[in-house]
Chains A and B, each alone.
Chain A
Amino acid sequence: MWSTFGIVVLAWVSYTAYDRSKGMFRHDWASGAVAAADVLRVLLPILGLVAASSWVARRLDGNGYRDLYLTGISMSRFLRSTTAQVACLLLLIGLAGCLLGVSASGTIWAHPALPLPDGKILEFDTSGLTPRLALLVAVLVLWVLLGSLLGYMVRRSAVATAAALAIIFSALLLERAATVHPIAMWIHALSPLGASNALVLGQSVPNFPRSGAMADVGVLSFGLWMLGAVALLSTRTWTSYLTVGNPSRTLRIRTLLGVCTSGALLIAGFVVPTELGERIPWQYKAAWRKSVESRTTPADAVEELLGAIATADRSLVRVSVRPGNEVALRGLQTALHNVDSSEVVVDNLLSARRPGSVVVHVGTTAVTDIGELVPPDQFGFCLVRDAGNWVVLQISSQGLTCT
């Protein structure tokens, strides 16, 4: 398993060390190390959380817990000794060092100094390496602490691992969703992965979308996570004192808790959806979905589009789609071909970020490289394929991207 993990890391570091703008690999130690640090920044917190939660939970799993009790070592002493945390941390830092060295040297070994076309030495900024490594260790410590708390709370190795993986999985989903949904962007800044990204570089994971998380939000978020974990732990101790050895009292407390929770959920259902709908700007709201559903025939949507195009200068219609959205492209080309007499130019520009969406630009001048219209007297249509219809999402006279 560890060898597979090492190969994955090496491949990832090599990919990160590839300079796409120059079409070649960076080939000095410093850039190899920076690339490795960037990869470890993502991998190590994940590994730290999973390893710490799984190891601590394994110590407490089944007989381990009883053994601790029988040998006279109390749980609080076990936790106070922090052996588990320190061991996790040392192991992970050692692993980080090994991976860093191996992957950096592996990058150089696999791609020895290539001559640059212009004969110059590739310049690379190494000033960011030391602060990056320092923050990496700080973030690692926090993740290991979180993992230890999680393992202590769950006390079963497999369940603790799964809980850690669930946290990471939801954070990954949030990373992805943060490009589309403002609400996800808000939650992302408070998720542990988003928080550690914010702490390390003030931005998102490489190759993942930027989510606008800030470093102070990251610190706040980590503090909240720690506080929440400690609060949960103390609540469990507190409730166990309340309920121990008295069944009727336990029942009463549980009934009270149940009634309070039900009431809180009812109130939340009454209040929160309105707040969410009003405060967070998101275009795919219930009203939008209703308007989509009201357009029943494909002809309506196409007619709407062409009618909108007809109001603008139709000397040039530019259609840009995401690579891979050929189905959307063909559908729109057919729709335009049937009625339209204008010139249709098709580009593969990366401007439509929703799946199945296309951006139609109408104007007299060409579209810029990034798919935006600069002159103000032009129109853009953002369309999306929904249940067989072409639906106009946005019409704008400014540069337009489907978000």
Chain B
Amino acid sequence: MHLTVRSSSVVRLRGCDVSVKRSSWAVAGAVIGAVSALLPTGYFDADGAGLVGGGVYALYGLTAASPVVLTALMCAEVAGDYERGLHRDIYLSDGSRGALLIGAIWASAWSWIVLATAALAAGALVGLGDGLRQSAPLGWNAVSVERLLICLALQGYVAIMAVLAACLWRRSLASVLVLFALLVAGIVLTPAATAASWESLLRVLPYSPLVSQLDPALLGRLSLPTQPGLVAGVMASWVGVGSVALVLRSWLRPSPS
């Protein structure tokens, strides 16, 4: 089959898929955003969350959901291309595999953007309802630029890890399962770690940066307070390890599988 695929056409290639799924992602995002904004407004904001505050809470909820949802999106698109043999076809047709990869990342990022927009809108609406009751419809109290940047950085980290895993294992299911196993390992180990002073080990697991940034009042025994420098170091190290593994893999097995 003669095939030339570029990043834009990859998106168009799945145009029908994306348009069908877009409403599902929007509904899922609305649920995440609404729940994330409903729970904290009852407990944390005595003055009402407001439009902006609700959106901020929705962003927190999105960050908490990203290890599962964003990982699944990225793995399904990127590793799905390997599974469908698109990389081989492109290689045979002298096409650029990099462009295909970027196309797959863009397709999944687009789904995430739809989900995130719906979540932010739903969170803002819930926050507005809460703010109207307390006559503070806007609600800038919850906004902290630092926290927002941390949330975006964590989502970016999750996306990079998912792409690395998908390129390494090239099977969507295997990639999702491996990342999920790492995530659950953190949760299962937490009480044991606090009891047995393994906290230092727990802090260097791939998903510990996410756990460390969540509010102790929300997580209870799961909370894992960590120094910001260590968090950044752990994130950089895992991205580095993944990249090195990817380079080694392509060096040892250069032909497209």
**Is A267 part of the contact surface with B, judged by Cβ < 8 Å?**
yes
Prevailing SS type, chain B contact patch:
helix
**Is A290 part of the contact surface with B, judged by Cβ < 8 Å?**
yes
Q: Contact check: which of A158, A273, A325 meets B76 at CB < 8 Å?
A: A158
**Bound-state Cα–Cα, A304 to B187, Å:** 36
Prevailing SS type, chain A contact patch:
helix
Contact A266 B125 (CB under 8 A): yes
Contacts of B49 in A (CB 8 A): 269, 273
Chain B min CB distance to A54 (Å): 6
Contact B43 A162 (CB under 8 A): no
Docked complex: A311-353 residues within 8 A CB-CB of B:
322-325, 353
Known: A158-B173, A282-B43. A324 touches B71 (CB 8 A): no
**Bound-state Cα–Cα, A62 to B13, Å:** 13
Known: A54-B173, A158-B72, A162-B76. A356 touches B216 (CB 8 A): yes
Contact B173 A157 (CB under 8 A): yes
Chain B min CB distance to A65 (Å): 12
Chain A min CB distance to B41 (Å): 4
B contact residues, range: 35 or more
Docked complex: B16-55 residues within 8 A CB-CB of A:
30, 34, 37-39, 41-46, 49, 54
**Is A289 part of the contact surface with B, judged by Cβ < 8 Å?**
yes
Known: A176-B220, A181-B220, A277-B43. A269 touches B129 (CB 8 A): yes
Considering the complex, give the chain B residue whose CB is closest to the CB of A156.
B76
**Bound-state Cα–Cα, A355 to B224, Å:** 9
Chain B min CB distance to A64 (Å): 13
**Is A299 part of the contact surface with B, judged by Cβ < 8 Å?**
no
Known: A158-B79, A265-B122, A273-B130. A169 touches B194 (CB 8 A): no
Chain A min CB distance to B23 (Å): 8
Contact A162 B46 (CB under 8 A): no
- Binary flags per residue of A260-278, CB closer than 8 Å to B gives 1, else 0: 0110011111111111110
**Is B184 part of the contact surface with A, judged by Cβ < 8 Å?**
yes
- Binary flags per residue of A156-187, CB closer than 8 Å to B gives 1, else 0: 11110111011001001100110111010000
**Bound-state Cα–Cα, A261 to B223, Å:** 34
A contact residues, range: 35 or more
Known: A161-B173, A179-B220. A272 touches B42 (CB 8 A): yes
Considering the complex, give the chain B residue whose CB is closest to the CB of A169.
B68
Contact A353 B72 (CB under 8 A): no
**Is A244 part of the contact surface with B, judged by Cβ < 8 Å?**
no
**Is B95 part of the contact surface with A, judged by Cβ < 8 Å?**
no
**Is A110 part of the contact surface with B, judged by Cβ < 8 Å?**
no
Chain A min CB distance to B142 (Å): 12
- Binary flags per residue of B112-123, CB closer than 8 Å to A gives 1, else 0: 000000000010
Chain B min CB distance to A33 (Å): 24
Contact A165 B128 (CB under 8 A): no
Docked complex: B155-186 residues within 8 A CB-CB of A:
172-174, 176-177, 180, 183-184
**Bound-state Cα–Cα, A353 to B184, Å:** 21
**Bound-state Cα–Cα, A354 to B221, Å:** 6
Given A265-B129, A354-B216, 8 new contacts (CB under 8 A): A181-B220, A265-B125, A266-B132, A269-B131, A276-B38, A284-B43, A286-B46, A353-B221
* Closest CB pairs A-B (n = 8): A269-B129, A162-B72, A180-B220, A286-B46, A276-B42, A158-B172, A269-B126, A273-B42
Q: Which residues of B contact A (CB under 8 A)?
A: 30, 34, 37-39, 41-46, 49, 54, 65, 68-69, 71-73, 75-76, 79-80, 84, 122, 125-133, 172-174, 176-177, 180, 183-184, 187, 190, 193-197, 199, 216-223, 225
12 contacts between A and B (CB under 8 A): A159-B73, A161-B177, A165-B180, A166-B69, A166-B72, A177-B219, A177-B220, A268-B38, A271-B129, A286-B46, A289-B217, A324-B193
